[in-house]
Structure 1
């Protein structure tokens, strides 16, 4: 008997992957992908050529189809997920303006975001569920329009990462509520595009006509174009479904929505989330996201950033890989002999505190790894303080969850076991689930493999003290780092 296969495509902040999953068992049958060649600009910009996205997409799907061999005929549908925000602006011919997308880690609109937050931050939080931040599509667009890098008349469509992939595959324009809401562009009250969000950015004229129709995740939006099917080696006319933002796709993959547990995504961004019933007044968390369910919200506590700090240290101190940073870090005890790191490498500012002559690269690595885990714990604790999430139940996802030592450090700082979904393809699995859903398959069609990681058997008091000290340090130094960020040329 033939078993259905579903493909999920995940375009994250650093790379693109395509994965084929077997229905029923949830087994990974084929996987392919690579890093995306982002261009980092001296003014804080971060861009990605459209040709690089197209090439990565085709190569990943072609490799998956080749790995599947004769079973490629059992592929029933595919769907895409991706990082949120950033700017994917298309011209009248459906091409990315200036031939490139802008990543959500772009910092050029940082000052604009801070000024807008002071002026309208509270009103925007009430309307769209988040305060202004540099990676929002509207603020990036406003910044590039002001500098002349973009021409207002050239903008025909505004998409998100996953929607751009789906457009390349089908020629259809569509998005979903999770991406629009996470980007701070959707009114929580109406579920429609927020006039205030566009007015606040000075882009009221772009709100009409440029925004794609919103459809529920798991809805078939089109079929694979013949030319794309031929390039990728996939069946012609393959159904393509709408996906969700990568965070929601990952939560869906591990059943977090049904179980009510908090999830820590150890990825480029420090993302921590819980799906819970609608609450009014809104809890004062980082963001409140609507994703289509009228009675539930996605509550977020995020920071820039998580594993990006380890990737930065690997580049800067010339470690061969992020795993090598963790190897080196674990050669010294928690606390790095008094050295601390503020882990906001993609945010306002980051830095070492307490660096002394007796510290070496191992202490620096340990300080960075400790800070990444501690920041996740800080955000998870804030969610818990509002009664969000099942007490004592946290799942760790993302690239950082591949390393059991990082997850064990997280568990130790939390003081309880953490469910580790070390399958680093939860985003793609969630996208594949949306593909399966579009064809009538149940939500448990692609179960994800997970295991429980217990805290390390060392003095719990050491972890408690470190956690408290880290929280106090970040609070005390916040004004200094804000001053540094505001003073950047």
Structure 2
């Protein structure tokens, strides 16, 4: 069995998973997201590491629930990507980590968009940069806080920061390293991309990507803290988006996956590493642990976060969502929405720090159900926009908190015009565990019953498909006009 850990933006989860797919209940611990003036969003590495220790100790104590005679084989880590987690040579944080939601570098990115730098980097690496990605954040610190970069030994990400604390190794998973400077086919950094961003001086801060199948070992102090054996293998990556894709069952090129979480991550498995965003310079191409397989990803900024905002505004509990959606017809009584409710704008399938949300078509007849349904429909339209840009051609799976809603799932299926295969369990942890077992040389039969029991299929209703086809075209027209006004 494996202890799997998923370090989310505000919640860290851990649970045991057996080779046959059985799991123990997850343990959770919350960490603080500091939202500060100037569109700054930060986290404290020590606090995040503390949440990992808490949930891993709790999960490890559950081993007897699965099989008291089977050992724990590895610790498998996944978690949030992007942002900038600066550390010194001992793995200590050099100031608070800059979150992927941070917007302080929006001005730098605007300049790169205007002078063609962003496009040139995109053409080389397939990485559509946004304010919270490592390139703009490094450039911002180089311009405004160079002393932090001078004090750092590594500029990395959440998962490798935690792995360094536990193993002492300075490394990074290739999926994290893919954005924005990696030539994902060669799995080496593109020096020209670094030069274009004016960051050649700081090249030494980038850890070399780990080889596929790489494992580290728990240090004695970390093992004691975690309640695990000293020297236990540690698999660090891929980060949460690809981990969820593989945990949801992506295996053949053209298949798609939606993660309806705080963000709306849309991804398609591919055999080539060419950028998918076209003239928009959006999205990213990720290296994966599997030879000849790449993930093309459009990670839209807002998924359930926008819905949470609206439900709070309307004083509606999340448990009421399905009943509320059922009260409003297709098209939400004429109310339409744009779902761009992040303070740092949007990053997929286009990049614009000025993107903002809208509600249109309001009248005295509009009720709470119409407002909520309009926003949920707009998120589904955004998902279709992303998946079509990525070139989806096969089955689509879904996971994340939003996928638990039966009514919202039916909206997604109708808008996408295809059945949606939903997994409600910890798909990120499943994906990370599968990568760890592969590194250990253990083949996993994912056709086993326990690997499949958490899946359900949401059928696309023909009437909904017809209605939403016209609705999607209207959404695209509204979006095009809004982009001019932003």
Change (3 A) 1:45 1:357: farther
Alignment of 1:372 with 2:379, yes or no, is yes
Q: CA deviation at 1:340?
A: 1.9
Whether 2:60 is the aligned partner of 1:65: answer: yes
Name the CA shift for 1:244/1:52 in 2 (closer, same or farther; >3 Å): same
Gaps of 5+ in 1: 482-489
Which of the numbers 454, 462, 466 marks the counterpart of 2:467? Answer: 462
Partner of 1:303: 300
Q: Could you tell me which residue of structure 2 aligns to residue 332 of structure 1?
A: 328
Q: Is the 8 A contact 1:276 1:389 kept in 2?
A: no
> Does the 8 Å CA contact 1:47/1:102 hold for their aligned counterparts?
yes
Q: Secondary structure at the match of 1:184?
A: coil
Find the residue that maps to 2:182 and give its secondary structure. Answer: coil
| Alpha-carbon shift at residue 85 of structure 1 (Å) | 0.8
Q: Quick one: structure 1 residues 173 and 317, their matched pair in 2 at CA, closer, same or farther if it must change by over 3 Å?
A: farther
Question: Is 1:86 aligned to 2:83, yes or no?
Answer: yes
Q: How does 1:137-152 map to 2 (within 5 A)?
A: 137-148=134-145, 151-152=148-149
Q: Does residue 1:263 correspond to 2:265, yes or no?
A: no
Counterpart of 2:39 (choices 36, 41, 44) is: 44
RMSD between aligned residues: 2.4
Partner residue in 2 for 1:361: 368
Query: 1:206 offset after TM fit, Å?
Result: 1.1
1:244, CA displacement in angstroms? Answer: 0.7
- Structure 2 segments unaligned to the other structure (5+ residues): 346-354
Task: Please tell me whether the aligned partners of residues 141 and 150 of structure 1 are also in contact (alpha carbons under 8 angstroms).
Answer: no
Q: Is the 8 A contact 1:313 1:325 kept in 2?
A: no
Superposition deviation, residue 152 in structure 1: 2.8
Give matches, 1:403-414, under 5 Å. Answer: 403-414=405-416
Q: Note closer, same or farther for the CA distance 1:9–1:337 as it changes in structure 2 (3 Å cut).
A: same
Equivalent of 1:213 in 205, 208, 218: 208
Contact 2:174 2:187 (C-alpha < 8 Å) held by counterparts? yes
- C-alpha displacement at 1:76, in angstroms? 0.7
How many angstroms apart in 2 are the aligned matches of 1:31 and 1:279?
Answer: 35
**Alpha-carbon shift at residue 38 of structure 1 (Å):** 0.5
CA–CA distance in 2 between the matches of 1:251 and 1:419? 12
Distance 1:191 1:342 in 2: 37
- The structure 1 segments of at least 4 consecutive aligned residues displaced by more than 6 Å after TM superposition are none
The question of whether the paired residues in 1 share the 8 Å contact of 2:105 and 2:137 is answered with yes
* TM-aligned CA deviation for residue 328 of structure 1: 2.8
Flag the 1:30–1:438 CA change in 2: closer, same or farther, 3 A.
Answer: farther
CA distance in 1, matches of 2:382, 2:196: 30
Q: Does 1:196 align with 2:203?
A: no
Q: Is the 8 A contact 2:16 2:59 kept in 1?
A: yes
User: Structure 1 residues 40-49 or 281-290, which shifts more?
Assistant: 281-290
C-alpha distance in 2, partners of 1:56/1:264? 27
Equivalent pairs counted in the alignment come to: 465
1:316–1:189 CA distance, 2 compared to 1 (3 A): same
SS of corresponding position for 2:183: coil
State the TM-score, normalized to the length of structure 2.
0.88
State which drifts further: 104-113 or 332-341: 332-341
CA distance in structure 1 between the partners assigned to 2:322 and 2:410 by the alignment: 12
Offset of 1:196 from its aligned partner? 3.0
Query: Contact 1:178/1:289 (CA < 8 Å) preserved in 2?
Result: yes
Q: Quote how far apart the aligned CAs of 1:189 are.
A: 5.7
